Amino acid sequence: MNNNDIRSQFPILDVTVHGRPLVYLDNAATTQKPLRVIEALDGYYRTLNSNIHRGAHHLATEATERYETVRRQVQSFINARHHHEIVFTRGTTESINLVASSFSKRYFTGDDEVVVSGMEHHSDIVPWQLAGATLRPIPFSDEGVLDLDAYEKLFSPKTRIVAVNHVSNTLGTINPIADIIRIAHGHGVPVLIDGAQAISHIPVDVQALGCDFYCFSGHKMYGPMGVGVMYGREELLNEMPPYQGGGEMIENVTFERTTYNQLPFKFEAGTPSVGDVIGLGEAINFMQEVGVANIAAREDELLRYATSMLSQLQGIRLFGTAPHKTTVLSFLIGDAHPYDVGTLLDQLGIAVRTGHHCTQPIMDRYGIPGTVRASFAVYNTLDEVDRLFAALQRIMPMLQ
Ligand code: PLP
C-alpha cells in the first residue's frame, strides 16, 4: 500500500489549521483513526448497540459475538496462549493500575520493591506507589540506553515485580525487554511490560518474550480512545483477586459471600466499552493489512530523515539518541521554552507535543523543564518532515 493510499484512509489529515494543511506529528500522544475504525464505531451505534453477555435478544447476542471475536483477534495479534488472558480495559493506565492493585494484594508482604526503568511514564510509576511499593529505577545513559549491569544489582529478596516500558514515549528508546525479562525470571521475579508506545511500531509476541503482563492502549494504534488491553499469564491472573467489583465479574452473590467469575470476566466489572472494542478490532485489521513490519520500516525512514534534518539546526539539542529507537524525536532549541516552540509551530499548522510528557524523572535526569516532541506514524511523509524543518528555521529568530 503506498503512502497516498494510506493517507486517504484518514479523513482528519485533510483538515486545515490556521489556514494551512495540518501536519500531525503528535502520534505518540494519540494516532489518528482510519475511516474503517470511524465507520465501525458509527455502525455499531446505528445497528448493533446493546449490552453484552447477559441478553437473550438478537442485538445482545450479536454484540457479544463481535466483542468476543475481537478478544480472539487481540490474542492472535500478540500471540497469547489463551483468549481469556486478554482483559479489556480503558487503556494502558487502567491496565497497569489493575495489575498494580491486584498483584500487590496477592503478592506484597508489607516491605516490597518494584524495579522500574528511569524512563517510565507516570502511569508505570504512580500505581506502584499507590500499592505501597518502594521503586528501584534502572539508570540510563545520556543517549537514553538502560544500564543492564546496574539493573542486575537492583534485585533483592524484596523485589516483587519488574515493570518497564517497551519503548520510551519521550526518548523513543526500544528497551531490551527480552534481556530484562530473562534476567528478572532468573531471579524468580515476574515482569510487566508497558507496551503503549510499542504496539503500533513493533510486532509483539508475548509467548516468545515470556513476559507476565503486557499493557497497551487502542488509541495509540489507530483505534478508538476508551479501550485498552491487559494481557496477563493465566497462572498469575488466576491467583490475583479482582480489581473492581460489580456486574459480570461475579459467579454468585449473597450478602454474606461472593464468588468470582472465571477469566477474563473476573477482571471486567461493569459494562465495557463495546463499540470501542469493535473499533479496536478494525484498527488491528488496518495494521495487519498494511503490515506491522511495513509500518516499522516506513516510520524508521521518517525518523532517520527527521533526525538528520533537525541535527542541522543551530542550537538544537536532541534527547534520546539510542541506537535502537522508534519514531520519537525529542528536542530543545537553545534556551527556548518548549511551549513557545510548540505554539509557534501550531501557527504554521504543525502539531507537536511539548512539556514533560508524563515523564518528570527523565526531565530531572537531564535537568530540563520539558522537550518538544515530534512523533511519526505510518501516514506521515518526508514532505511533512521538510515542513517541520522549514517551520523551525522560520521561527528560530523569534526564539532568541
Ligand atoms: N505508558 C506510556 C509509555 C505512554 O506513552 C502512555 C501515554 O502516553 C501511557 C503509558 C498511558 O497511556 P493511556 O493514557 O492511553 O492510558
Ligand 1 mean position to 245 CA, how many Å?
25
The enclosing domain of 258 has a CATH number of 3.40.640.10
375 ligand 1 Cβ < 6 A: no
Phi and psi angles of residue 195, each rounded to the nearest 5 degrees, phi first: -100, 15
**Are the CB atoms for 71 and 86 separated by under 8 Å?**
yes
224: its cell numbers: 478508538
pLDDT given for residue 185 in this prediction: 98
Residues 6+ apart with CB under 8 A from 311: 318
pLDDT given for residue 399 in this prediction: 87
As to burial, measured by CB atoms within 10 angstroms (0-12 exposed, 13-18 middle, 19+ buried), residue 16 is exposed
The range of the structural domain enclosing residue 21 comes to 3-34+292-395
Residues 6+ apart with CB under 8 A from 235: none
| Rg for the chain, CA atoms, rounded | 22
| Nearest Cα residue to 203 out of 141, 107, 70, 296 | 296
In this structure, the answer to whether residues 72 and 218 fall within a common structural domain is yes
- Give the domain-ending residue among 272, 288, 304: 288
Q: Is 400 part of a structural domain of the chain?
A: no
Total domains present in the chain: 2
In this structure, the answer to whether residues 317 and 369 fall within a common structural domain is yes
Nearest ligand 1 atom to the CA of 90 is 16
Residues of the chain with pLDDT under 50: none
Nearest ligand 1 atom to the CA of 169 is 5
Q: Which residue out of 197, 214, 229, 353 has the highest number of ligand 1 atoms within 8 Å of its CB and is therefore the one to mutate?
A: 197
CA distances from 267 to 87, 160, 219, 235 (A): 7, 21, 21, 14
In this structure, the answer to whether residues 279 and 137 fall within a common structural domain is yes
- Give the domain-ending residue among 246, 261, 288: 288
Q: In this structure, which residue's CA is closest to atom 14 in ligand 1?
A: 93
Decide: helix, strand or coil at residue 322: coil
Helix and strand element counts for the chain (H, E): 14, 17
- Nearest-angstrom CA–CA distance, 117 and 174: 12
Catalytic site positions: 358
N residues, the chain: 400
In this structure, the answer to whether residues 192 and 325 fall within a common structural domain is no
Most distant CA pair in the chain, distance = 71
Q: What is the pLDDT of residues 61-117, one digit of tens each?
A: 999 999 999 999 999 999 999 999 999 999 999 999 999 999 999 999 999 999 999
- Give the domain-ending residue among 288, 314, 340: 288
Phi and psi angles of residue 181, each rounded to the nearest 5 degrees, phi first: -70, -45
CA distances from 32 to 220, 256, 318 (A): 8, 48, 25
Q: For CA atoms 350, 355, 358, 361, give the dihedral sign.
A: positive
Note the Cα 213 to chain centre separation in Å: 13
Q: What is the pLDDT of residues 43-53, one digit of tens each?
A: 999 999 999 99
pLDDT given for residue 1 in this prediction: 82
**Are the CB atoms for 247 and 266 separated by under 8 Å?**
no
pTM score, whole prediction: 0.98
| Nearest Cα residue to 194 out of 281, 126, 280 | 126
Which amino acid, one-letter code, is at 286? F
The number of CA neighbours under 13 Å toward the Cβ of 194 is 26
196 ligand 1 Cβ < 6 A: yes
Nearest ligand 1 atom to the CA of 357 is 8
